[in-house]
Amino acid sequence: MTFHEMNFDGLIGPTHNYSGLAVGNLASAKNAKNTSFPREAALQGIEKMRTLVRKGYKQGFLLPNARPDLNVLRNLGFTGTNAQIINKAAKQAPELLSMVYSASSMWAANAATVTPSLDSKDGKVHFTPANLLTTAHRAIEYPQTERILKAVFNNTKYFKVHSALYGQSEFADEGAANHTRLGSSYQDAGVGLFVYGRTGQSNLTRFPARQTLKASQAVARAHETRDALFLQQSPVAIDAGAFHNDVVAVGNGPALFFHEDAFVASQQAAVFAELAERMPFKAICVSRDDVSLADAISSYLFNSQLLASPDGSTHEMHLIAPTECRDNQAVFAYLERLIADDSQPIRTVTYVDVRQSMSNGGGPACLRLRVLMSNEEMAAINPNFIATEAQLDVLSGWVNQHYRDELSPADLADPQLMTESYDAFTDLEEVLNCEGVYRL
């Protein structure tokens, strides 16, 4: 049985806007209240998928959450018709309107944590939607995300989609953005490396430490993960703006590419030693002398996608990096030295333009969920969510038909935006033959 990695990118929704809702996300805060460009954002995401498809990688996509989520506003006391609810929220609590309009589900790395069948005791691929408790605009995502995952991975013989973890602060879970599956190859059982920011309810950082140890342990337990290791993210990195571990580290196969300040040093040596016992582990550490933590975070160097070759070989790996890495002199110089260094497996870098996502704090790796599957498991996926060239053309046409060119935070108060968005989602259900996912 042959296994391959497939990336599922989050399709960017029509209400992509900059409301600055994510505390600790420096890009989100910097661009708060700016005008966004939803059509451009979605087409940039589709073009990234197309780039990987043309390079020979297996690619899928996940639907965006439907926005605005008026059920949340109804739960919070707003009544009347849909338009009346929008008008009341705009006048009485505009911050809540921003919350229910957020298109943050585009960052599929936060959709769920995934354990492949090779690594689970029951031989199924497991998914746990992230509860995303730390921020209100993201905490409303998981009910829709669970339905979306069940629509894509709809064959229960091969896939098990769990419910999100119990909604309490000690079990705050941010999904695959804090989880890396490492292994000798795609054909061998691997190790789930779970990275957490805090052990209890209290933060020891200025910015929220979003992932908890208890949440990581609970996911590993629910997935019946054969081999899991737990490592704490450095508080220094969190307070510098690394709100998820995938802002300072990315791994694949036996390679872990990370910043010197990514992890708590007292734990790192022991965990790396355990990884080295299980595989030909390759730690690629970027020193703060080569790339400062500030440059790493502003360029999203480690939020690049680290990919094996299209045939699954981890001896010649590829980095899909945001164009901000090319534009940062120190980061670009480091990457040029890196790919010339034959002692490590990263051989090429491809730069992709996802500036609309980057302006809200999400790079190439934020936009995708990694899923390792056998050929048989891949054949069991709902084929409507596989990103062929033809399907990407369909999605581009849908975006061009329904998305606005520009969107400002003030536009959220216009009920017409709601109507346009709901029409778009209804059409998308028909296009992809997945009626009932949105329940509008």
- Which residues are documented as binding site for substrate? 19-28, 110, 137-138, 210, 246, 360
Round to whole Å and give the CA distance between 199 and 330: 34
Residue type, 296: A
Secondary structure of 280-342 in HEC code, one letter for each residue: CCEEEEECCCCCCHHHHHHHCHHHCEEECCCCCCCCCEEEEEEHHHHHCHHHHHHHHHHHCCC
Residues annotated as catalytic (active site), given as ranges: 174, 244, 366
Maximum CA pair distance of the chain? 64
Q: Which of 303, 287, 365, 296 is nearest to 332 (CA)?
A: 296
User: Could you tell me which residues are annotated as the binding site?
Assistant: 19-28, 110, 137-138, 210, 246, 360
| Residue whose structure tokens are 């992230």 | 130
Please return the burial class of 389, using the count of CB atoms within 10 Å of its CB with bins 0-12, 13-18 and 19+: exposed
Please return the burial class of 340, using the count of CB atoms within 10 Å of its CB with bins 0-12, 13-18 and 19+: exposed
Round to whole Å and give the CA distance between 398 and 68: 19
8 Å CB contact between 260 and 285 = yes
Residue type, 198: R
Round to whole Å and give the CA distance between 374 and 387: 18
Round to whole Å and give the CA distance between 334 and 418: 45
CA dihedral 13, 19, 22, 25 (to 10 degrees): 100
Q: What is the DSSP string of 398-433?
A: HHHHH--S-B-GGGGG-HHHHHHHHHHHHHHHHHHT
8 Å CB contact between 198 and 213 = yes
Round to whole Å and give the CA distance between 48 and 39: 14
Q: Which of 245, 252, 293 is nearest to 268 (CA)?
A: 245
Q: Which of 384, 373, 397, 360 is nearest to 27 (CA)?
A: 360
Q: Which of 174, 116, 73, 34 is nearest to 418 (CA)?
A: 73
Q: Which of 53, 42, 26 is nearest to 303 (CA)?
A: 26
Integer-rounded Cα radius of gyration of the chain:
20
